[in-house]
A and B are shown apart, each in its own frame.
Chain A
Amino acid sequence: MHIPDGFLSPQTYLPAYALAAGGWAYATRELRRRVDETLLPRLAVLTALAFVLMTVMLPLPGGTSVHASGIGILAVVFGPWLTFAVVSLVLLLQALVLGAGGVTVLPVNALAMGLGGSVAACLGYRLLAPRWERAGLFAAGWLAAVVPAALVAVVLGLQPAIAHTSDGQPLFFPFGLSVTLPAVLIPHAILGLGEGLLTVLVVSFLRRR
């Protein structure tokens, strides 16, 4: 979701930063408690990997392809907190090194993709996997694509209501929920199928050994 800066109001991104900061503090504590001394290198290597993995192409019918997010895979294999940390770092580097992605969108994307997406993926996986392993993996990949999209669509769609001039003109993102939800959700529900398929294949390959 490459929304440039300038479409989110400070009333949105400042609280989002506060919320994300809490999440980062908690994630750091959780990870330190659970992971051994490989934590720092593992986080680093996975972040570099995610940076590149986001360019792994998700094949579409007809020879074209789009970027995969890999969040479903990360969430199922490494859990939501590590995924949250990795996604946040990737976004930070994209913003500061490449100048891409935007700093006001960063906390929203980090919370939506890193936390919302990975928690949804883990829940979906845990719910289905005991009975249907593959369905669980598929759900993880699909949810990891759709839930963040839905969250971002809601945040965007609320902008006209949050920030507008006295005569009702928007100041930031112009469209309401009735536009953002279908415009974002429908393509992602379809792309999610590919993400789900990739999650099934990758995680079952990884586990076969």
Chain B
Amino acid sequence: MLQAIEVSYRLPEGQEILRAIDFQLGRGEKVVLLGANGTGKSTLLKVLNGLLPPTTGTVSYDGRVVDRAALREAAFHQRFRREVVLLFQNPDTMLFNPSVFDEIAFGPRQLGLDDVDKRVHHWAGELGVVPLLERTPFGLSGGEKQRVCLAALLILEPKVLLLDEPTANMDPRSTGWLVDFLADINQTTLVTTHNLSLAGEFGDRCLVLGEDHRLIFDGPIQDFLGDQDRLAAANLVHRHRHRHGATEHSHFHTHDWD
């Protein structure tokens, strides 16, 4: 339902961030987007969310091209923004309302929905942030902010969730919670991460951005994770010396660094 067709993105200064990216997300699919730092994962999500216009190529949603002209159309704009949502890597950037309640209510209020109060309480309950409703979003911890942002997005009942490094600001307990939560929802999700030990938990298909900013793999995640050469080529594993008693050797491996 969300498709990238030969998408390239170049900064105004000329640096190329994405090169000829081509893939399609099916309804209800759970996809993981892997890539080393600086390969363009965040940029790709912003392009898919219609926030950055691709330099060449197109993004299409449900058969409709998502470009400036389409987004200027109020009806399509509203539908697209409501159905395709993006959780930014830094949750702070998304929070601008005076209270957590207002933050979650921001979407439904824009849509002029009734029973905003009920909806907010429902989603605050789902995400476990009911006790925070009266607080200001600025004062929350990283994990709490992430949950508030998710509540603010899910209340729109989106069809596609784009999540940019959602575990980056989370402690292990919140991370475990998020993995379970995403497994239980039936929306299409595309989750970026550079944490290989978690990648398998977020989906069964994986897309990999290489350091040349091209899509270097699209397929079952186990095939990719089991392929040392591909992992090394994508700069997702490393090698260094290990000492085990008197023997010293080195092999490719990863660390759980998040």
Contact = CB atoms under 8 A, between A and B. Distances in A.
Interface of A: 205, 208-209
A208 B99 CA distance: 12
B177 interface: no
Contacts of B139: 209
B252 interface: no
B181 interface: no
A contact face: mostly helix, strand, loop, or mixed:
helix
Interface residues of B, number: 4
Contacts of A209: 136, 138-139
Contacts, number: 6
Interface in B92-111: 98
Among all A-B residue pairs, the 6 with the closest Cβ atoms: A209-B139, A209-B138, A208-B136, A209-B136, A205-B138, A205-B98
Interface in B120-163: 136, 138-139
B176 to A, nearest CB: 30
Nearest to B98: A205
Nearest to B136: A208
A194 to B, nearest CB: 17
Contacts of A205: 98, 138
Interface of B: 98, 136, 138-139
A206 to B, nearest CB: 10
B200 to A, nearest CB: 39
A1 B178 CA distance: 49
Contacts of A208: 136
B57 to A, nearest CB: 29
A91 to B, nearest CB: 24
A205 B138 CA distance: 10
Contacts of B138: 205, 209
A205 B136 CA distance: 10
A43 to B, nearest CB: 24
Contacts of B98: 205
A209 B136 CA distance: 9
A13 to B, nearest CB: 33
Nearest to A201: B98
B91 to A, nearest CB: 17
Nearest to A206: B138
B21 to A, nearest CB: 30
Contacts of B136: 208-209
Nearest to B96: A205
6 contacts: A205-B98, A205-B138, A208-B136, A209-B136, A209-B138, A209-B139
A205 B98 CA distance: 8
A68 to B, nearest CB: 16
Nearest to B138: A209
B120 to A, nearest CB: 21
A88 to B, nearest CB: 28
Nearest to A208: B136
A209 B99 CA distance: 12
B166 to A, nearest CB: 25
B77 to A, nearest CB: 14
A207 B153 CA distance: 28
A209 B140 CA distance: 11
A208 B138 CA distance: 10
